[in-house]
Amino acid sequence: MSVSTHGLRLRSRSHALRAAVELLSSMRFSISLLTVICIASVIGTVLKQHEPATNYVNQFGPFWAEVFTLAHLNAVYSAWWFLLILAFLVISTSLCIARSTPKILADLKVYKENIREQSLKAFSHHASAGLAESPEAAARRIGGLLAGGGWKVRLQQRDNGWMVAAKAGAANKIGYIAAHSAIVLVCLGGLLDGDLVVRAQMWFNGKTPYTGGGMIADVPAQHRLSTTNPTFRGNVMVAEGSQSGTAILNQSDGILLQDLPFAIELKKFIVEHYSTGMPKLFASEIVIHDKATGEKMPARVEVNHPASYKGIEIYQSSFDDGGSSVKLHALPLSPGGKAFDIDGVIGGSSQLTKGQDAGADKLTLEYTGLRIINVENFGGDKGGAIDPRKVDLRESINSRMGAANKSAVKKELRNVGPSISYKLRDAAGQAREFHNYMLPVQFDDAGAVPVFLMGVRETPTEPFRYLRMPADEQGLTDGFLRLRDALTDSTLREQAVARYAARAVDPARPELASQLGASASRALALFAGVGVAPRAGQTTAGGLQAISDFMEGNVPAPERERAGELMVRILNGVLFELLQITRERAGLKPLDTSATTQAFMAQAVLALSDAQHYPAPMIFTLKDFTQVQASVFQVARAPGRNIVYLGCALLILGVFAMLYVRDRRLWVWLAPADQGTQATMALSTNRKTMDGDREFDQLKHRLIGAKEG
């Protein structure tokens, strides 16, 4: 029996009703709906769901962000059109099953023993042979052989002979019912465990998303779902030593709060790392407090090993900072600024007044993140730090696939220590994000000195740009900052120029010393930004860019390369003398001219140039911290899970039956002949394969003695 692709055909006078039912119950319509759902699921996988609107604007621009919002692509699985399509798919597939199942079940009972002898010869698999026994004896012998081989057999006696009708592989047709029923079950389970129930409460019970701030306990009842909610999936963040009994359900236009019948207390968050600093275990030691009985139940939650209580699964989803306290040290970059210490809590903020930094306007310091472990790749690409809680999927695939473009550069992962992330927000509400490392980082470049990495970016979609501040012989920033302050002091600049000219020129030729001093003074003034107008779009001038602009405007093109090398050499020499002066004033011994000193000066020149364009009057470094961990749990009540599991099992069985079980029917017509019985045999199968040819050859030889091949 072949399955038809058309739908149910009602006997109704209404043409519109007949057409609608026929379309809705047709297999073509079901396949079209399934295709749309697959495309929507791909969009929901690629595009991050339930993100703040500003994230989409920053990443895709205002036009596409508006398109995503109008089409609900930022919340595909809870969009009304997605749920509607899913519901139509359930109805359509159910009608297809209802239309086809009676025919399939009826076909399972039919042996088609009334087929005519002439029809058997029209099959592609047919054979004839003479038998010495009588038709009845041959029929019973053949029937017994087929029954012993797993066939279902029916014998029919006619006036002019016997018909042996047999069938096997009926599971192939059952597979059709199982596979299509699986689609219905999976969709029903998805609807039950998805946002449909939550949406229904928003539509009919007056529940609305909450868009404000403040304490969770102060959120009104219209934004809360009761503990009897039959299905939900949300997140709970619990800091060490605290407990929470409310889950947050993210919506495209806010959040809903789900009250739990218990509270989760986090005793300890456990993270274990490999020698490279990459994590190998996340786990949480928790205590579940029953709100009704007061019972306490200890449990351990690990990745892929959830805890369960009262039908609610508790999964280890992620981890975060639970309010760590930090002490930051401010390094002023503006002239006249003073260093100071400030204490804060991750997630909090502090107001910076002019009393703390005379050169700064009113700013708000927001403490956004503390990372104890940062893993950096030093084997090849020296990119940004790797967040140890994330997995590099592309690297994972490339490391296991033997593609021709597989990278030959081996990664060397190294933990470079803690870092602090913060934002500086001005009075207008504009903020920049900063990411600074606590310890100096030693790169593997030949002769390189350890550097403090000070990152900054304008928007979350941009990568961090790092100011590399060289560490002095004590592993501190003091040497560089003294040089930075001295560069803004005209008196110290003049002393450095005089020293450099005196050391570089023979005392017997004072006129050369005067010329060299003038060139050195000019180079140092340009580098310090004295008397230099800022370029368009910049608020400060100076650095190597100022020297480059001066060369382009005053030196002929053929002579720029040689003149540029000379000016940079003079600049390095003067800055070295300026550094020596700062060390003398600090009571430190002078530096020698070793390779380490030269590497420090080379990096210091670059850092001094970049620091003049640093978009903040100060840099905050991490001085001390007390870490408080927090676990992010996903809590879910999913009654449709077992339905989905049943659907998956049926889908596996159905697909296996349809692909690997062949539906076969066999007929043997036995008619009396002069010297016994004339046998005519035919085989029908739903798929023409080599296995079918081989099986027919074996059967015809075994049953009627016909030659194989």
What is the model's pTM? 0.67
Contacts 24+ apart (CB under 8 A), 15-24: 21/95, 24/88, 24/91, 24/92, 24/95
Reply yes or no on domain 116-169+662-703 having CATH 3.90.550.10.
no
The mean pLDDT of the chain is 84
- pLDDT of 73: 87
Contact (CB, 8 A) for 165 and 154: yes
Tell me the longest C-alpha to C-alpha distance in the chain: 141
**Statement: residue 539 has pLDDT above 60:** no
Contact (CB, 8 A) for 244 and 263: yes
| 23-57 pLDDT per residue, tens | 787 878 888 888 998 898 898 888 887 777 777 88
User: Sorting pLDDT into bands at 50, 70 and 90, what band is 709?
Assistant: low
- pLDDT of 707: 75
Residue 626 class from Cβ within 10 Å (0-12 exposed, 13-18 middle, 19+ buried)?
A: exposed
CA–CA distance, 202 with 196 (Å, rounded to integer): 10
Please give the backbone phi and psi of residue 331, each rounded to the nearest 5 degrees, phi first: -105, 110
| 207-233 pLDDT per residue, tens | 898 888 778 888 898 999 999 899 998
- pLDDT of 316: 93
Mean pLDDT calculated for residue range 261-270: 94
| 50-93 pLDDT per residue, tens | 777 777 887 888 888 888 888 888 888 878 888 888 888 888 88
**Statement: residue 419 has pLDDT above 70:** yes
Contact (CB, 8 A) for 323 and 368: no
In angstroms, how far is CA 382 from the centroid of its own chain? Answer: 22
If we measure between CA atoms, which residue out of 436, 422, 421, 419 comes closest to residue 363?
Answer: 422
Contact (CB, 8 A) for 42 and 50: no
- pLDDT of 525: 87
CA–CA distance, 96 with 177 (Å, rounded to integer): 10
Q: Which element (helix H / strand E) includes 618? A: strand 618-626
* Tokens standing for residue 441: 């980082």
- pLDDT of 545: 85
User: Sorting pLDDT into bands at 50, 70 and 90, what band is 562?
Assistant: confident
| 679-699 pLDDT per residue, tens | 999 999 988 888 888 999 999
Out of 134-143, 203-212, 394-403, 573-582, least confident range:
394-403
CA–CA distance, 523 with 544 (Å, rounded to integer): 10
Within a 10 A sphere around the Cβ of 569, how many other Cβ atoms? 12
If we measure between CA atoms, which residue out of 483, 470, 571, 578 comes closest to residue 527?
Answer: 571
| 490-523 pLDDT per residue, tens | 899 899 988 888 887 766 666 677 788 888 888 8
Strand, coil or helix: 276: coil
Please give the backbone phi and psi of residue 452, each rounded to the nearest 5 degrees, phi first: -90, 125
Q: Where are the beta strands (DSSP E) in 61-151?
A: 125-131
- pLDDT of 350: 93
In angstroms, how far is CA 394 from the centroid of its own chain? Answer: 11
Task: Give the percent of the chain with pLDDT over 70.
Answer: 88
CA–CA distance, 193 with 694 (Å, rounded to integer): 49
